[in-house]
Amino acid sequence: MFTFLIVVVLITFAYIGITRQYRGPDLSKYDAPKDPLVVTADEISQEHQNVLARLKEFHQISGVKIADQRQRMEELFYQDVDAEIVAVDVNGVPSEWVLAENADPARRLLYIHGGAFRVGSPRSHRYITAELSKRAGVAVLAIDYRMQPEHKIMACHEDCQTAYQWILNNGPDGKSEATELYVAGDSAGGNLTLSVIAWARDNGLRPATGAIALAPATDSTISSPTWRENQRSDPFLGPSLGQLIKLPTSLIHLGQRFAGGAAPNNPILSPIFNKLAGLPPILIQASCDEMLYGDAQRYANKARAEGSEVTLQLWPTLVHVFQAFGPELPEATDALNRIAMFIAEQSNASHSNDTKPSEETSA
């Protein structure tokens, strides 16, 4: 009996120690205010039901092997595109240029695909990258960064940092300086996007002209209440991550520590725990019914409170990363058009700043 009590005490202290070591600061004050919806729930198209049917079929076939999981993601997302695809080596990171007919090689966008740091690829996300190239007139560089389980999540971040530095001075036509640089990504790729723009700031690199994050995971400690509140209303992440969030917090954090290669509250892995001042303009899009909604809302509110410019566009009902399910989904088309508008606004602002006379000249 005495031995049993000792074991219980040790486990209790270990639990408390792990929880304290890996948790981040309380972010609940950033749950409000809540941004308004782009449309109302009764305005969501009937085509969204087709997406739900595809997801239901997707979850009925669950491969255990990582190769099977990656193949399933390719089958879910891949679409033929009307764009030139050019393979390129980005200092050791396999990548591809996605070039619509009107793409300006000097105006560049680094795209970082999602997939829980385990699945996804430039090929699976070609619909998004091709549409961004066409609608915004940018040359898109999609990187095939290292993923789990072969590598830790920190390796994903390292490859994004490599690509960020590379794209500043390399375009689809060879070495040349970018006139504009955008960074975009979805889900895990949104996490990597928000992390790399802060990393660029902290390391004195040229800032991006703007950044776009689609349903980003911003807090690897999984502290937002919508992780649990929205499980049933999230037909994409709910079935796959629902069991995860039932585990004790300490076990989740231990798993995150092992998979990440660093503590889950590390600002690289959880960009919301970084300083959010001095970032380029950011556009975030998400569904308010998905599990990652809280991550998006909290990040937007915290970044604004620290002085950065963040636009958060929210849709009701829609699935996680609904932008990838076009062109048959009207909301995907709308969202991509809004991204193109954001890029055009940042482009105009950057050129306006370039033509402003300096203080010395105007004096």
How does pLDDT run across 313-354, given as a tens digit for each residue? 999 999 999 999 989 999 999 999 999 999 999 999 988 877
Residue 333 · residue 47 · CB < 8 Å: no
> In one letter, which amino acid is 122?
P
C-beta atoms surrounding 299 within 10 Å = 30
Mean pLDDT, residues 290-307 taken together: 98
pLDDT reported for residue 362: 39
Q: Which positions ≥6 away from 54 have C-beta within 8 Å? A: 76, 325
CA 261 to each of CA 16, 149, 155, 255, 265: distance values in angstroms, whole numbers, following the listed order: 21, 12, 8, 10, 12
Amino acid present at 263: A
- The pLDDT tens digits of the residues spanning 205-254 come to 999 999 999 999 999 999 999 999 999 999 999 998 877 888 888 888 89
CA distances from 25 to 22, 172, 223, 256, 273 (A): 10, 42, 10, 17, 8
C-alpha 345/C-alpha 28 separation (Å) is 32
Question: Is the four-CA dihedral 120, 275, 285, 58 of positive or negative sign?
Answer: positive
Q: How confident is the model at residue 19 (pLDDT cuts 50, 70, 90)?
A: low
Q: How many residues does the chain have?
A: 363
Q: 158 with 93: CB under 8 angstroms?
A: no
- Using DSSP, state whether 107 is helix, strand or coil: strand
Return phi, psi of residue 182, to 5°.
-120, 150
pTM for the whole structure:
0.92
Instruction: Go through the domains of the chain in sequence order and give each one's CATH number.
Output: 37-346 (3.40.50.1820)
Amino acid at site 253: H
Distance CA 299, CA 293 (A): 10
Instruction: For 62-104, write each residue's pLDDT tens digit.
Output: 667 999 999 999 999 999 999 999 999 999 999 999 999 999 9
Residue whose token pair is 């305005």: 43
Q: Phi and psi for 83 in degrees, rounded to 5?
A: -160, 155
Q: What stretches of 137-187 show up as alpha helix (H) in DSSP?
A: 153-169
pLDDT in tens, 191-217: 999 999 999 999 999 999 999 999 999
Give which of 341, 280, 272, 273 is closest to 300, Cα–Cα.
Answer: 272
List, in order, residues 6 or more apart from 130 with CB less than 8 Å away: 81, 82, 83, 98, 100, 140
The residue assigned the tokens 């690897």 is: 220
The whole-number average pLDDT for the span 289-312 is 98
Strand partners, 290: none
